[in-house]
Amino acid sequence: MAKLISACLLGVKCRYDGTSAREPKLLKLAKGERLIPICPEQLGGLPTPRDPAWIVGGDGSDVLKGEAKVISRNGSDVTENFLIGAKETLRVAKLFGAKRAVLKARSPSCGCGTIRVPHSFDELKDGDGVTAALLEKNGIRVITEEDL
């Protein structure tokens, strides 16, 4: 069975700061499953490295409804990039028949259950990232690396 996984968790240097968040325990998943690495922010056309971004006015579900925005540290509205990345990630999930995803915790794209408060790397709020919200809405179970 195929499973989506945030590419940064597999060691791909695609995070906003050009680093990875390699999680060795996730490599054990590769023994019994086909892992499909994805980076929604890159799929949405954002470069690496890039300014960090936060969801302002809600969470990923609110972004999907047009009720919140994703704004970068420099004030740029990157909402459309996040929406495109989420839709492309869903397209990849459907293409490979993925029913589950392991995504990066607290990310404005991939966070599941909690995301960062705007302009903070330490303060958290309840909610999902844009991609996590779209995947869940389409019946794909999302967890973070911290849930394993």
Q: Residue 139 has what pLDDT?
A: 98
Are residues 42 and 89 in contact, defined by beta-carbon separation less than 8 angstroms? Answer: no
Total-model pTM? 0.96
Q: Residue 148 has what pLDDT?
A: 84
Whether the predicted pLDDT of 121 surpasses 90: no
HSE value, Cβ hemisphere, 13 Å, CA-based, for 105: 13
Whether the predicted pLDDT of 9 surpasses 80: yes
Give the pLDDT band (50/70/90) at residue 94: very high
Q: Residues of 22-59 as b/e, b for ≥16 C-beta within 10 angstroms?
A: ebeebeebeeeeebbebbbbbbbebebebebbbbbeeb
19-53 pLDDT, tens per residue?
A: 999 998 887 777 778 899 999 999 999 999 999 99
Q: What is the mean pLDDT of residues 66-92?
A: 98
Q: What total number of domains does the chain contain? A: 1
Query: Which residues constitute the domain of residue 54?
Result: 2-147
